[in-house]
Amino acid sequence: MRTAIQLVKAEAANLCHEMAVGVCSWNFMVSPDRDLNAAAMGYGHIVLNRGIVEYTATDEEVCLVVAHEIGHHAANHVARGTSNQMIGALIGIAAVTAAGVAAGGRPDPSATRTAGEIGATIGRLSFSKEQEREADYLAALIMYRAGLDLDKARGLVVTMAASSGRMQTTFLDTHPAGPERVAAWDRAVGEIRASNGRLPPRA
């Protein structure tokens, strides 16, 4: 994983500074967890599970995982996710409070707390699928600029798609469904190659 970090880090930093919206300094930690997973959290923290090495077949696949988590920080997803959770919680609490007042009573504290938790969850999930798509796109862009083979990285996208067991995305899913994610990856790679690695306006 250290090799993967070194392969993508310089171009990732360049891209992050070009975007000028997120965190461009990262602290990598390796977890002994054997699941195929990783996480971006806090201020520039990235946790990579040991299982990534067991499930990946090429260095490019490991680079994809690293670049994807960097993409979350570069696009400021972590801070935006926290903000969305807070807004969702406030909306949930406000709805329960209004219902209690309309019924002529006072809202039950436990119901208010539950409404806040549900609102926070919805606030987090309602943006997560688009953030995952954007992180995939930025990962492909970082890897392209670093001179890495995107076709060799695609195998991991297919592996994740097959392991998800889902054929369509629902509102409460945090990641796009398998076929949707593979198709989005292929579109991203085609677009990036056609533009010779230019940062798209939407980023």
Does 160 fall in a domain? yes
Residue 95 CA to residue 10 CA, distance in Å, equals 47
Does 23 fall in a domain? yes
Residue 102 CA to residue 116 CA, distance in Å, equals 19
pLDDT value of residue 172: 40
Does 201 fall in a domain? no
Does 199 fall in a domain? no
pLDDT value of residue 35: 86
Does 119 fall in a domain? yes
pLDDT profile of the chain (203 residues), mean per 10: 94 96 94 88 90 92 96 88 44 47 56 50 54 93 98 92 54 60 94 95 63
- Nearest 5 degrees, angle CA 44-CA 75-CA 59? 70
**Contact of 129 with 37, CB cutoff 8 Å:** no
Does 200 fall in a domain? no
Closest CA to 62 of 143, 132, 138, 141: 143
Does 202 fall in a domain? no
Does 187 fall in a domain? yes
The predicted model scores a pTM of 0.74
pLDDT value of residue 94: 47
pLDDT value of residue 105: 56
- Which domain covers residue 59, as residue numbers? 2-194
How many domains does the chain fold into? Answer: 1
Residue 8 CA to residue 48 CA, distance in Å, equals 15
Residue 199 CA to residue 144 CA, distance in Å, equals 11
DSSP for 72-111?
Answer: HHHTTHHHHHHHHHHHHHHHHHHHHHHHHHHTTS---HHH
Cα dihedral across residues 116, 121, 126, 131: positive or negative: positive
Residue 169 CA to residue 182 CA, distance in Å, equals 13
